[in-house]
Amino acid sequence: MAKLILIRHGESIWNAANKFTGWVDVPLSRRGRAEATIASAKLRHYRVDVCFTSLLVRAMETAILCLTEYEEICGGKTPIFQHAADDPEWHGWDKYEGNPNEELPIFLSQALDERYYGQLQGLNKAQTAEKYGKEKVREWRRSYYTPPPGGESLEDTQKRVIPYFTSRILTHIKHGDTVLVAAHGNSLRAMIMKLENLSPEEVPNLELTTGVPIVYELDSETNIVDKIILN
């Protein structure tokens, strides 16, 4: 059986400050790095074949910490970021063929970035709730259809996540690989909606804790056989 491991990045500095982050490229906090290290310990009995992450540093940091704290997770291979040719800093990395016996690829994609929070980015969540009301802010954060001012709804996010998920990530699942995806609350919620056939009405109650791996065991048709949350 193939395995799909989803992990929301560890706590970021703005998570700790209770700020809306979205596309702002904020690194992990000390606690966030510890969460990713603990996640690696929980994953040390899994051997990852390929990893996917977003272009945001908090997800990239989490991926690297998960893969490198325990050598057996990579099977002794070296994790290497695979930059795309349309990356302005690509430096020819897309032309490096690599050595699959010695290297584990980490593919980067903007499709896996967090939901864009528009005008809310950088604002304190509690203060925003005081200004607009708790219910309105919850609707912006958790509903499927309603975007925050100037930002993306979860529906918008899903429209960019799912094509990439289907064409790139599920391809490895069908080959029987163990896949690690280190991403964000909303890009992962979009994937889980697809995997678990959740409706837009069910998704507001879907909460993902920072740094906690979720392991899906999937058959060749990508149907869920088992699900384990490694709290």
Does 117 count as an annotated binding residue? yes
Residue 30 among known ligand-binding residues: no
User: Which residues make Cβ contacts (< 8 Å) with residue 98, sequence separation at least 6?
Assistant: 80, 105
CA 190 – CA 156 distance, rounded (Å): 10
Could you give the CA distance from residue 30 to residue 38 in angstroms, rounded to a whole number?
Answer: 12
128 is in an annotated binding site: no
Intra-chain end-to-end CA distance of the chain, in Å:
22
Residue 215 in contact with residue 3, Cβ under 8 Å? yes
Residue listed under structure tokens 């949350």: 229
Residue 202, helix vs strand vs coil: coil
Q: Find out whether 223 is annotated in a ligand binding site.
A: no
Whether 125 has a binding-site annotation, put simply, is yes
Q: 14 among the known binding-site residues?
A: yes
From the candidates 61, 114, 152, 184, which is the catalytic residue?
114
Instruction: Write down the catalytic residue from 9, 35, 61, 152.
Output: 9
Positive/negative CA dihedral, 67, 5, 191, 83:
positive
**Is 31 a known ligand-binding residue?**
no
For the question of residue 114 being annotated catalytic, the response is yes
Tell me whether residue 189 is annotated as binding.
Answer: no
44 assigned binding-site residue: no
Tokens of 171: 């391809």
Left if phi > 0, otherwise alpha if psi is -120 to 50, otherwise beta: which for 38?
A: alpha
Q: Look up 184 and say whether it is catalytic.
A: no
* Count of residues making up the chain: 231
186 annotated as belonging to a binding site for a ligand: yes
Binding site feature residues for substrate: 8-15, 21-22, 58, 114-117, 125, 141-142, 185-186
Binding site feature residues: 8-15, 21-22, 58, 114-117, 125, 141-142, 185-186
Catalytic positions, please?
9, 114
